[in-house]
A = this chain, B = another copy of it.
Amino acid sequence: MDAILVLDILGVIAFSISGVLTSMRKNMDAFGILIIAFVTSVGGGTLRDVLLNDEVGWLSNMTYAYTIISTSILAVIFRKRLTFFKKSLFLFDTLGIGLYTVVGIEKGIGAGLHPIICIAFGTMSACFGGVIRDILCNEIPVIFRKEIYATACILGGFTYFAISYFNAPEGIVFIGAFLVVVSIRLVAVTFKISLPDIYKLYDEN
């Protein structure tokens, strides 16, 4: 439980910073920046909890609000220095989706859901904060066009159940799935790999 909370908070920090940077690129004001940071951080998890009819975490656990508010203020103040850390921020974001994917899957398992739905919940937890962010910024969600983002989460989800199948200890399953998500995304971005284009794939039909 405690380890999951710590990992969740790490993800919140990563997503808050990326939310602040995105909203500042859109010239939003202080309130807009805070909302976008908030939504990017907890949006995916909130949607997941609402669908599960579960208690939404950030309502009662003040760690989320404190983390998002202080991260946002620091990110706004030190934004010029943040631009030097573009690669670090990409890493933060990648660690964030890795963490959220596994946390989302485990929430689904806790609710007794089918593995496919659990993988969907993991992907949703990781990616839908960004989807809501893009909708609020009036753009088509970027992950619907650059599929390696969500694909990494989905493959991490399959890894989770594959490792569990062999009765691996819980920690190994968690870390294995986390590392698969993170590695796939790092490799895909580093080598500019993308999935085959389905608009060409079946053109013989």
Contacts and interface: CB of A to CB of B under 8 A. Distances in A.
Given A29-B195, A147-B30, A59 B51 contact: yes
Interface of A: 23-24, 26-33, 35-36, 46, 50-53, 55-56, 58-60, 62, 65, 76-81, 111, 113-114, 116-117, 120, 131, 135-141, 143-147, 150-151, 154, 195, 198-199, 202, 205
Q: Count this chain's copies in the assembly.
A: 3
Given A51-B50, A65-B117, A136-B131, A29 B78 contact: no
Nearest to A114: B62
B29 A145 contact: yes
Contacts of A26: 140
23 contacts: A27-B145, A28-B145, A30-B147, A30-B198, A31-B143, A31-B150, A31-B151, A32-B143, A32-B147, A35-B144, A50-B50, A51-B56, A58-B117, A62-B117, A65-B117, A65-B120, A76-B202, A78-B205, A81-B205, A131-B136, A136-B140, A136-B141, A137-B140
Contact of A199 (B27, B36, B58): B27
A135 B135 contact: yes
Nearest to A135: B135
